[in-house]
Each structure stands twice: as C-alpha cells, then as structure tokens.
Amino acid sequence: MQIYDVVIPEEMDGLRLDACIARLVAGRSRTYLQEMISRGFVTVNEESELSKKAPVSAGDEIHIELPDPVELDVVAEDIPLDIVYEDRHLLVVNKPQGMVVHPAPGNTCGTLVNALMFHCRDLSSINGVVRPGIVHRIDKDTSGLLMVAKDDKAHQGLAEQLKAHTILRRYHALVHGSLREDQGRIEGAIGRNPANRLQMAVVERGGKEAGTHYRVLERLAGYTYVELSLETGRTHQIRVHMAWKGHPLAGDPVYGVKKEKIRHDGQLLHAKTLGFRHPWTGEALLFDSPLPAYFETYLGKVRALGR
C-alpha cells in the first residue's frame, strides 16, 4: 500500500479534491483516484466522507492510502445466463443470487462479466476491462434484473437516466418485524460507516442523499413482505435504510439480525421490475421477473410459522 501525507500548499488552494490528488499522486488515473475518494481511502483533516468536487484549502491535511494495484485477467466463461431481453445495443439479465457482477481481487471467475464476455462479442468500454458493459450493479446475494450495455452510446444513455433518477427499479424484500404504515418513504443520507469502513450507514455528515419508497405486500408472523422502489441508487441502500428503521432484511449477513428463525445465506432481496427508455430508439421498455425459487421457498416457510 502506498501512503501519502500532505499539507496543501497555497498554490493548490481552491482546487477540486480529485484534481489536487491527481497532482500529488503520479501514475494513477483520475477515475481511479475518484473511486479511492468514494471508498474512503482519502481523508481531509481526518474526514473520510468526501465529495470529489469539494475544494481544498491551503493548510488542509490530506492522508491518502492507495492499495497496491492488482492486474486482473478477465476471461470469458461459458456460464448460463437468464437473458430477459437483448438487441444489438443492450441486454437485460436476470442475475441469480450468489453471482458477483464483476471480477475483483480474490474473485476473478464465475462472475456475470465472465459470462457476458462469452455470450457477447462486444460490450461497452466505458467502465474498463474489468467491468465491460456494466451500467449498474446489485449485490452478490441480491437477485434480479440488470441492464448491460453493448456499446458506449447505450452505456452513456442508460447512465444519464440513472443519474436523472428516471429509471424504474422495484424490489421485493422480506424484512423483520411489522412496519407501522402500509406504505411510506424513508429518507436518510448514506455514507461509509465511521465505525466500520466495510459497511455503509445512515450518517449525519458527509453522506449522499437517498430516498426509498416502500409498500407492504403481506404481513406475516414476525416479518413483512414489501415492495420497494429507489429514488437513488446508493451502495446497499435498501439494506441500510430498512435496518436503520428497525426492519433489517431477512438473511442479511451484514445489516441483519444475528439469530434468524429460518436460516438462509444472503438477504431476501430481488430486483423484480426494471423500466427505462431505450438509449438508441427512445422506446419505453418495462421488464418484470418472477420471484426466484429461494425466495418462494423462504416465504413458504415464514407463512407456515403463522399457521
């Protein structure tokens, strides 16, 4: 790991944080450094929840920790894909629970990207060689619908819709406890958990605004089956918001309860509905996926508790 400790000189006063770091650190791309800022590897005056656009001031103390780079050789793998829609510009995939979206150190095979590289001749290059075609992600243990771009125009168009919050994303989840209201909205800024950098949390300072809508589908013994829709797409947003409100997702190994009545590896969360405009044609597209077997099985066991 490379570590830098710098006091900002007068000539850098007012620079954007990412531009400042790019001057201080040689041989790393601006995109990489922006990711390090978002992941909490950069602190300014011991504050880690930072905006890449925030200006620095002369005298600020900057601490930077850069993990040693790891070269990944991403290979195509003949892994079956559940493709819901495909044309020459994009596809929509129904990802199973347990599949990682893209390779990372220590997990270089068996991912959605490995499967896509076998299936598709071309994928957009905007996110580089490790994440070709990947416009957005869902967690390893979240199942459901994902958009994948085959060319850069499609990628840019979908990314713009994500940024403008015009993409419809509805999830089904099973949460602990009984929600007081049949529907509502949760609002709470999400950032890196100051007590545990591997987790996200609702934070008072430095987080990014996040909004989640919920609607009760079924009330069960000790649980509630809910539909959730996202205004924003923060890391672990649904899992963090529901845990913050005292209703963590069943099976969630990070934000859930320690002892489950019914054991399951991974949170009960399924990206069920996805709607957007085709970036080339402007056509409105809407897709829905059935609940996967693991979810239906767990629901059946929970329903049996109330008999």
Distance CA 233, CA 218 (A): 25
DSSP 134: B
* H-helix or E-strand spanning residue 188: none
Question: How many residues make up the chain in this entry?
Answer: 307
Distance CA 168, CA 145 (A): 11
* Active-site choice (18, 139, 151, 252): 139
| Burial class, 16, CB count within 10 angstroms (exposed 0-12 / middle 13-18 / buried 19+) | middle
Catalytic residue status for 122: no
Distance CA 194, CA 169 (A): 29
* H-helix or E-strand spanning residue 240: helix 237-244
Contact 118, 79 (CB under 8 A): yes
Q: Of 2, 46, 37, 32, whose CA–CA distance to 16 is shortest?
A: 37
DSSP 252: -
Active-site annotation, residues = 139
